Homo-oligomer: A and B are copies of this chain.
């Protein structure tokens, strides 16, 4: 692996390539060119080649990429060719939804602990997982080998949840609350904002209508 800095956008695209490649595989494709993959993903072919080049040379010149191999190579490069155990803190609406949405497990992210500090929630069972007091987080992380924490608490509890998770030894956090977290430099936080997609669509429609009203020259913009 070349150790230049890898753009975040590249990681995002690689995740997409895996999804698309898995569809292609299911449909029986053995080999795919950057050209075809690019068209399917609405990106530029050299973009794909560049993205892959960060991690190695996976293609065969004059032929393309072997689909199954490429899936594995990308997953291996990203470190998602194994199971990652996760703990979820905050069993509200969203937390429950994530616990029930067991596609995560299927894709290698297994939520093995659900935590909340509300005594009324403790003991409840969701998708076969018992909700446990947040105070027991530290032990659970150690016992179960949890490496990633998911924060689905209300915004005002998010920092506290983060502190608990970090103290327990988790190395990465996915924060579904709108709180911005303060964490040590060696903890990686990924912020998830469900709403920004809604905002983008709403904005885009609004913009379109404005332009229509102005009868301006329409400039069909690509999705990225």
Q: A residues within 8 Å of B by Cβ? A: 1, 5, 8, 11-12, 14-16, 19-20, 22-23, 40-42, 78-80, 84, 93-94, 96-98, 100-104, 107-109, 147-148, 155, 171-174, 178-180, 185-186, 188-208, 210, 220-221, 223-224
The 8 residue pairs across chains A and B that have the minimum distance between CB atoms: A79-B206, A97-B97, A19-B178, A172-B201, A15-B196, A185-B220, A188-B204, A15-B199
The 11 sampled A-B contact pairs (Cβ below 8 Å) are: A11-B196, A12-B200, A14-B199, A42-B180, A94-B103, A96-B100, A147-B205, A171-B208, A174-B198, A188-B223, A190-B200
Number of copies: 2
Cβ contacts under 8 Å, A97 to chain B? 96-98, 100-101
Cβ contacts under 8 Å, A203 to chain B? 11, 78-80
Give, as a whole number of angstroms, the nearest-CB distance from A159 to chain B: 11
A102-B93, A220-B185 given; A197·B202 CB < 8 A: no
Residue of B whose beta carbon sits closest to that of A201: B172
Cβ contacts under 8 Å, A193 to chain B? 12, 15-16, 19
Bound-complex Cα distance A19 to B193 (A):
10
Bound-complex Cα distance A172 to B201 (A):
6
